[in-house]
Amino acid sequence: MLTLLNLLRDGRFHSGQALGAALGVSRSAIWKQLQQLEAEYGLPIYKVRGRGYRLQSPLSLLDSSELNGRSAPWPHEVFESLDSTNAEVMRRLSAGGVPPFAVTAERQSQGRGRRGRRWVSPYAQNLYYSLALRIDGGARQLEGLSLVVGLAVLDTLRAFGLMSVGLKWPNDLLVGSRKIAGVLLELVGDPADICHVVVGIGINVNMQVAAEEIDQPWTSMQRESAELVDRNALVNRLSASLSAYLARHKSEGFSALREEWEAAHLWQGRAVNLIAGVQQIHGRVMGIDATGALRLSVDGEERAYSGGELSLRLSDDS
Ligand code: BTN
């Protein structure tokens, strides 16, 4: 079926006869495979009498050889399908895998988002990327780490011409009020000693059709630029940006990147509600501190908040 997908990925028409000849099967076998492709991969296929079959839009498929070139900062493995790339990296770490290494998948059946949410992960449209890192500098090396990852993703999106993207604390990437990418860090081991961090990154790349399951306003790179994005080039740029930002974070600490982060923060100075479980704190965003914690002015007093379960919303009087 993947051979058939490869033939169709240009988004052009292919006759049943040509497809059958390329695969060495009958036209009716092609018809069956096309139906399977549609059902299993969720890829709409158009059939036009006299012209043949084509995908709704062209696909940019991940190619392991392009992702493991000479300039790749770490080895990279591509999967057709996974439950979650973060889960796969965790399995590899517990089986003795040596970081750094990265994993991507064309689709995820149980993509994980922050705060227990689901990350909708349709086939070959977006980027589902996880990187395994070893942290051996104790808790200090974790300070601001997830925000630094956000900066690397931002740098990557800007390199692809998306200049209107910004950050929302702690590590969402938005265009206006629409989410284009998210970051989920998961920790394995003892943060005070040697531990591993799984850096999970989801970027909406070529997704155009509103997936009903997505429960928040979203956009994608293709929606913003009206162009099909080469996902291999995107992964290579993301790895390079991550490598550069992580090296800087390791040698100089988060305080060296704090100003850059604040300059890209879309909600600087805005009135917000910080949601922590059932509790809501109303305040104005002042920025972040040297550890990456959010600084809010609450009732005229400055307070700092950090923690993976917090979520920020704009308040009506913003
Ligand atoms: C968020 O909620 O904003 C974080 C989303 C993170 C999604 C990515 S996709 C690759 C990696 N694997 C997962 O299961 N989740 C992360």
Asked whether residue 34 falls in the same domain as residue 84, the answer is no
Q: What are phi and psi of 98, to 5 degrees?
A: -105, 115
Asked whether residue 80 falls in the same domain as residue 202, the answer is yes
Q: Tell me the average pLDDT of the chain.
A: 93
Asked whether residue 70 falls in the same domain as residue 202, the answer is yes
What average pLDDT score do residues 3-7 get?
91
Residue-wise pLDDT tens digits, 52-91:
999 988 999 999 999 999 999 999 999 999 999 999 999 9
| Residues noted as catalytic | 114, 179, 313
Q: Which of 231, 237, 233, 236 is nearest to 60 (CA)?
A: 231
pLDDT higher than 70, residue 317 = no
DSSP, collapsed to helix, strand or coil, labels residue 1 as coil
- 119: Cβ below 6 Å to ligand 1? yes
DSSP, collapsed to helix, strand or coil, labels residue 40 as helix
Q: Which CATH number covers residue 16?
A: 1.10.10.10
Print the domain residue range for 294: 267-314
Asked whether residue 107 falls in the same domain as residue 211, the answer is yes
Asked whether residue 111 falls in the same domain as residue 159, the answer is yes
Q: How many domains does the chain have?
A: 3
Asked whether residue 215 falls in the same domain as residue 255, the answer is yes
H helices of 83-220, where? 85-94, 145-159
What tokens were used for 102? 């990265």
Q: Considering the entire predicted model, what is its pTM?
A: 0.94
Separation of 77 CA from ligand 1 center, angstroms?
17
Dihedral class, residue 4 (left if φ above 0, else alpha if ψ from -120 to 50, else beta): alpha
- 128: Cβ below 6 Å to ligand 1? yes
- Residue nearest ligand 1's atom 11 by CA: 200
Q: Which of 178, 159, 169 is nearest to 265 (CA)?
A: 169
Ligand 1 atom closest to 110 (CA): 14
pLDDT higher than 70, residue 211 = no
Residue-wise pLDDT tens digits, 225-271:
999 999 999 999 999 999 999 999 999 999 999 999 999 999 999 99
pLDDT for 210: 63
Query: Residue 145 class from Cβ within 10 Å (0-12 exposed, 13-18 middle, 19+ buried)?
Result: buried
Residue-wise pLDDT tens digits, 148-193:
999 999 999 999 999 999 999 999 999 999 999 999 999 998 877 7
- 34: Cβ below 6 Å to ligand 1? no
pLDDT for 225: 95
pLDDT higher than 90, residue 196 = yes
Query: Ligand 1: which of 76, 88, 112 to mutate, judged by most atoms within 8 Å of the beta carbon?
Result: 112
- 108: Cβ below 6 Å to ligand 1? yes
Q: Quote the CA–CA distance of 219 and 224 in Å, as a whole number.
A: 7
Q: Which CATH number covers residue 305?
A: 2.30.30.100
Ligand 1 atom closest to 108 (CA): 14
Asked whether residue 199 falls in the same domain as residue 249, the answer is yes
What average pLDDT score do residues 21-36 get?
93
Asked whether residue 133 falls in the same domain as residue 20, the answer is no
Question: What distances in angstroms separate CA 278 from CA 206, 281, 295, one per listed residue?
Answer: 36, 10, 20
- 43: Cβ below 6 Å to ligand 1? no
pLDDT for 193: 79
